[in-house]
Amino acid sequence: MKGEERLDPCGEEDLNELMRQRRVKLEKLKERNIQPYALKFNRTDLIVNLRQRFQNLQQGEESDYSTSVAGRLLALRLHGKASFADILDSSGKIQLFASADQLGLEDYEFFTTLDIGDWIGASGKIFKTRRGELTVKVESFQLLSKALRPLPEKWHGLRDVETRYRQRYVDLIVNPEVREKLMIRVDTIHALRDYLDRQGFVEVETPMLQLIPGGATARPFVTYHNALDTNLYLRIAPELFLKRCIIGGLEKVYEINRNFRNEGVSYKHNPEFTMLEFYWAYVDYLDLMDFLEEMLSSIIADLRGSTVIEYQGQKLDFTPPWKRITLLNAVSQALGREIGFYMELDELRRIAEENDIQLEKNWGKGKIITELFERLVEMNLWQPTLVMDYPKEVSPLARTHRNDPNLTERFELIVANREIANAFSELIDPLEQKSRFEQQAAQWEAGDEEAHRIDTDFLRALEYGMPPTGGLGLGVDRLVMLLTDSHSIREVILFPHLRPEAF
RNA sequence: GGGCCGCUAGCUCAGUUGGCAGAGCACUGGACUUUUAAUCCAGGUGUGCCGGGUUCGAGCCCCGGGCGGCUCACCA
């Protein structure tokens, strides 16, 4: 922990030299009746618009256009009676030119005492310097907000990852790529919504607080509702509520929102993460594979200009069609021998042990085969791959496979060794769903904290009749990681979870 | 949770065998009216993550703790 971090951030004592200097300046401003925290500023132009409008201005040429810009002061280059400054607004940077000639001596002196980090507004004519830099010739300016803390230095910026995540506001100021990644995230979510809206899906909002955390295998966060005197769980997935929407007749629904899972934190896991789930009546998982291929490849092409992107130094090719394999074939191939449900449980257990998998006693054939897949195949899958037909044992909400009672009509999209999407032909038979829940309940009794719990209302809903439906979930953060070439999920989440900071 | 690594000035980082705690940027003072990592002259940066221990002497060695990164396990 840095010494400075332990200070009360609002305290007046024990400030470092730079912070003391700024507080002294603040007092001097007040003595001169200068309000250091302005009420408002009438900005006329966003910096990006000025750059576009005056891109053809000649070097040394001055326009007759007078602008008012505002932003944070990021650099000051003092040259005696004339100075340059850079300010940053939400759209970009622009240079200011301030001189004693233009401002008069008193205002010019004030300008030179501004600190890097201060917010200012400035008005004047747009011109281009002899060096070709678009610049505002400041005729008047106003301090909008005084900064009491110094910013990190200009070349190296802020590197310390802990400070970058804890004080993302500073990261956003000094590291332009943070803003760029955020904008790719914004554009990705917008593109997903736009694509689904155009296909006639309706976006719905389903409960974050749930009595029974369902729709996935994961440990939930627990909270408590005072008036109802009951425990509630932060949702681990919206799945069961979105299916209720399908039962209600909505036909094509989706939700993009947060899920919460009370599990480990790592470079690909944050306790809260953003998930897209959609449900589509009358289609099966084969339709969904085509749809996902088309949706993702077109969004990636729109956003990145190509369906081939680079991730962590390697190419990722999203050009359809993607490789499709069945889980059983993939495992068989990796093992160099045919495996399947016809084998005895003991034999599968032996193969798992030979491959360094720590077995648990209640695991059946399906779970063991899935573990083998994750260990032997998934960690080697780099290019987008659709893995089909997961065992029923690990898929309590998916429809039984039309050709094999041990399997379900489920696929996952694996890219760069990680699961990006998970989808299936939904199980719509209420009686079969009931018995699947009961099997899960038995696992729960046996100590599996991630086993699915029986959701009686969901079974009741199914009994009213659910049309054949395909459903898909997509990890938005992980998709954005791929699109921004980010190694860690923390790079694509503005405020990732860290251990509490000790002040 | 396990293993490995890191924590020194506001920021980015050096620091020899255990022997006066440093550099660049930032900051302060001075010069400078077209710079953009501005330049030139001068100057001060400090709870060495915290707490113990060893030692004449600890940023450095030992023990305990904190936070972070990577990685393994778990998971999406």
Say what the pLDDT of residue A437 is. 93
Say what the pLDDT of residue A503 is. 65
Same domain, A184 and A307: yes
Residue A453 to residue A190: CA distance in whole angstroms: 34
Domain that holds residue A95: 4-157
Strand B contact at CB of residue A150, distance < 7 A? yes
- Check residues 2 to 41 of chain A and report those whose beta carbon is under 7 Å from nucleic acid strand B: 2-4, 6, 14, 16-18, 21
Same domain, A128 and A214: no
Report whether pLDDT(A373) > 70.
yes
CB contact at 8 A, A354 and A336: no
Same domain, A189 and A288: yes
Report whether pLDDT(A177) > 60.
yes
Say what the pLDDT of residue A405 is. 96
Report whether pLDDT(A163) > 70.
yes
Say what the pLDDT of residue A145 is. 96
- Check residues 418 to 437 of chain A and report those whose beta carbon is under 7 Å from nucleic acid strand B: 418-419, 422
Query: Whose CA is nearest the C1' atom of nucleotide B13?
Result: A156
Q: Which of A131, A157, A183 is the last residue of a domain?
A: A157
Going by pLDDT thresholds of 50, 70 and 90, the confidence category of residue A355 is confident
Going by pLDDT thresholds of 50, 70 and 90, the confidence category of residue A502 is low
Same domain, A206 and A94: no
Residue A249 to residue A180: CA distance in whole angstroms: 40
The least confident of A20-29, A141-150, A297-306 is A20-29
Average pLDDT over residues A437-454: 85
Query: Would residue A444 count as lying in a domain?
Result: yes
Same domain, A57 and A185: no
Same domain, A83 and A126: yes
The least confident of A321-325, A375-379, A454-458, A466-470 is A375-379
Residue A49 burial class via C-beta count within 10 angstroms: exposed 0-12, middle 13-18, buried 19 and up = middle
pLDDT digits (tens, 9 = 90+) for A89-146: 999 999 999 999 999 999 999 999 999 999 999 999 999 999 999 999 999 999 999 9
Distance, Å, A165 CA → B9 C1': 22
Average pLDDT over residues A391-412: 96
Same domain, A201 and A151: no
Say what the pLDDT of residue A66 is. 96
Residue A257 to residue A414: CA distance in whole angstroms: 21
Q: Which of A122, A157, A192 is the last residue of a domain?
A: A157
Average pLDDT over residues A47-67: 95
Distance, Å, A503 CA → B51 C1': 17
Strand B contact at CB of residue A132, distance < 7 A? yes
| Average pLDDT score over chain A | 92
Nucleotide nearest A115 (Cα, C1') = B27
Rg (CA), chain A: 29
Strand B contact at CB of residue A262, distance < 7 A? no
Same domain, A274 and A223: yes
CATH number of the structural domain spanning residue A142: 2.40.50.140
Average pLDDT over residues A360-378: 90
Q: Where are the beta strands (DSSP E) in A349-444?
A: 385-388, 410-415, 418-425
Query: Would residue A312 count as lying in a domain?
Result: yes
Query: Would residue A283 count as lying in a domain?
Result: yes
Say what the pLDDT of residue A461 is. 98
Distance, Å, A296 CA → B6 C1': 39
pLDDT digits (tens, 9 = 90+) for A37-56: 999 999 999 999 999 999 99
Phi-psi region of A279 (alpha: psi -120 to 50; beta: other; left: phi over 0): beta
Query: Would residue A363 count as lying in a domain?
Result: no
Distance, Å, A2 CA → B60 C1': 19
Average pLDDT over residues A162-176: 93
Report whether pLDDT(A444) > 90.
no
Query: Would residue A164 count as lying in a domain?
Result: no
Report whether pLDDT(A2) > 90.
no
Query: Would residue A351 count as lying in a domain?
Result: no
Query: Would residue A141 count as lying in a domain?
Result: yes
Strand B contact at CB of residue A337, distance < 7 A? no
- Check residues 441 to 470 of chain A and report those whose beta carbon is under 7 Å from nucleic acid strand B: 450
The residue assigned the tokens 């054939």 is: A365
CB contact at 8 A, A120 and A70: yes
Distance, Å, A481 CA → B59 C1': 38
Average pLDDT over residues A3-8: 34
Strand B contact at CB of residue A383, distance < 7 A? no
- A93 to A4, A88, A138, A187, A418: CA distances (angstroms): 30, 4, 15, 22, 38
Same domain, A242 and A129: no
Going by pLDDT thresholds of 50, 70 and 90, the confidence category of residue A329 is very high
Query: Would residue A439 count as lying in a domain?
Result: yes
Residue A249 to residue A466: CA distance in whole angstroms: 9
Say what the pLDDT of residue A15 is. 74
pLDDT digits (tens, 9 = 90+) for A184-221: 999 999 999 999 999 999 999 999 999 999 999 888 99
Strand B contact at CB of residue A258, distance < 7 A? no
Same domain, A148 and A179: no
* Total number of domains in chain A: 2
- Check residues 191 to 230 of chain A and report those whose beta carbon is under 7 Å from nucleic acid strand B: 216-218
- Check residues 392 to 421 of chain A and report those whose beta carbon is under 7 Å from nucleic acid strand B: 418-419
Say what the pLDDT of residue A362 is. 82
Q: Which of A157, A190, A211 is the last residue of a domain?
A: A157
CATH number of the structural domain spanning residue A299: 3.30.930.10
Say what the pLDDT of residue A14 is. 61
Same domain, A61 and A93: yes
Same domain, A182 and A121: no
Strand B contact at CB of residue A488, distance < 7 A? yes
pLDDT digits (tens, 9 = 90+) for A269-297: 999 999 999 999 999 999 999 999 999 99
